[in-house]
Amino acid sequence: MKTQSVQLNNMHKGGFTLVELLVVIIIMTILTGIGAGIFTGTSQKLQVQKAASSLLIMAQYARMSAIEQQRAYKLYIDNANHEFYLITTLFDEENRVAEEIVIEESLCAPVVLENSIVIEDVQVLANDYNSGSSSSNLYIITFAPDGTSQTAAVQIGDQQTHYTLSVNEITGKSKLYPGTIDDIKIDTIDIDAEYY
């Protein structure tokens, strides 16, 4: 009889009970769910940040190119197609025709927003050079050859994470802010503010 109890004790020490296995599986499932949620949220935030950074780079490129090429560059914000792109007008001396072209360079290719990332709000103030937006779904920010632009703010986000691009009318410089368009006063120009 002693031999049977010894064998049962040895058998129990070598494995896990069903309850222990279930507890471990439940804990692993919970931790995996939490980890996946954190990763998904972080991934989405990075996608919003990447789209906002692309908008900033495009605005900076537009300003520098307008000054360097001595012709206007227009940043189009197309809400209907969830995209933004840059256009300039080239004059063909030979045929005496002006043609608008979309800029498709490595730093400045058109951007189509993916997933739940959208242009959430756009405010463009008219100036002497341009009258502002042409419709409720298409907004145009013009960068002039003298380095000026239109005062504008563009909010991009996914309903949880928001970035706002602000364009200064006097300097034509752009700055990206975390947060909504309501946090920025686009009709106020701060000469001392740092724009980059």
Taking residues 132-154, what's their average pLDDT?
85
Specify the pLDDT at position 184. 76
Calpha distance 112→156 (Å, rounded): 12
pLDDT higher for 51 or 136? 51
Tens digit of each residue's pLDDT (9 = 90 or more) over 56-99: 999 999 999 999 999 999 999 998 899 999 999 888 778 888 88
Please state, for a pLDDT cut of 70, what percent of the chain lies above it.
Answer: 78
Query: What CATH architecture is 2-183?
Result: 3-Layer(bab) Sandwich (3.55)
Taking residues 128-157, what's their average pLDDT?
81
pLDDT higher for 28 or 111? 111
Tens digit of each residue's pLDDT (9 = 90 or more) over 27-49: 887 777 776 666 555 677 889 99
Give the start-to-end residue ranges of the domains of the chain: 2-183
